[in-house]
Structure formats: C-alpha cells, structure tokens
Structure 1
Amino acid sequence: MASVAELKSAIDAALQQIGDGQAAVQAAGEKLTEAQQTLAGALEGSGHETVTAAHASLSQANQELQDCLSATLAAVEQAQLYSASL
C-alpha cells in the first residue's frame, strides 16, 4: 500500500494533468469560436440549411467542451477534498 505522501504526490500529478487537459480544452474552444466567426463572416446572409447545420454543430461542440470543463472542475474538487482528508 502506498504511503500518504505517495498518494498525495500521485493526486498532485493527476491534478496537474487535469490542468493541462483543461488548458487544451479551453484552447480548442477558442479555436472553435474563431472558426465559427470566420464561417459566419464568409457565409453571411446565406440561409442554406448546410450553413445553419454547420453553425449548430459548432455551437454544440462548444457546449460539450464547456460541459467537459465543468466535469473536470468537479473532479479536481473531489480529488482535492480526498487529498485534504489524508
């Protein structure tokens, strides 16, 4: 069985990895927002259903990234609570 110090160290490493993942998700969200703005500018005024579908898909992707960030925040909170209880 791992010592308390080893457990805390492993939790800290996992939290760092989560932080790295959160940064990547945030960067991806920013890129999707930029893509959506570029698409909107290029296709302004188009009412074609595929343009509407593209916007909807990008909006859904952004929402799912936000959901991912929320889930990771909850995971961080739980890991920190566990670490503090050791």
Structure 2
Amino acid sequence: MASVAELKSAIDAALQQIGDGQAAVQAASEKLAEAQQTLAGALEGSGHETVTAAQASLSQAAQELEECLAATLSAVEQAQQYVATL
C-alpha cells in the first residue's frame, strides 16, 4: 500500500497531466475557432447543404471541447478535495 506522500505525489502527477491535456484541448479549440471563421468567410452566402452540415459539425466539435474542459475542471476539483482529506 502506498504512503500518503506517495499518493499525494501520484495525484499531483495526474493533475499535471490533466493540465497538459487542458492546454492541448484549449489549443485545439482555438484552432477550431480559426477554422470556423475561415470556412465561414470562404463559403459566405452558400446555402448548399454540405456547407451547412460542415458548419454544424464544427459547432458541435467546439461544444464538445468545451464540455471536455468542464469535465477536466471537475476532475481536478474532486482530486484536490480528496488530497485535502489525506
């Protein structure tokens, strides 16, 4: 069985990994927003159904990235609460 210090260290390492993941998700979100703007500008005025579908897919992806960040924030809070009880 791991000691309290070892457990805290492992949780700290996991929190660092979560932070790295959050940074990657945030970078992906920013690139996705840029792609949405580029696509919107390039296809402005087009009513073609594939354009609408592409824009909807990008919006869905952006929403899912936001949900991912929210979930990781919750995980961090829960891990920190657990560490506080040790």
TM-score tier (shorter): over 0.9
Task: Note the residue ranges of structure 1 that are not aligned, 5 or more in a row.
Answer: none
Aligned residues: 86
Query: For the residues of structure 2 that align with 1:56 and 1:27, how far apart are their CA atoms?
Result: 20
Q: Please name the residue that 1:53 is paired with.
A: 53
Query: For the residues of structure 2 that align with 1:13 and 1:84, how far apart are their CA atoms?
Result: 16
TM-score normalized with structure 1 length: 0.99
Secondary structure in 1 aligned to 2:45? coil
- Does residue 28 of the first structure (1) align with residue 8 of the second (2)? no
What is the aligned-residue identity percentage? Answer: 87
Q: Please name the residue that 1:4 is paired with.
A: 4
Superposed CA deviations along residues 26-51 of structure 1, whole A, max 9, x for unmatched, are 00000110001000011111010100
Task: Note the residue ranges of structure 2 that are not aligned, 5 or more in a row.
Answer: none
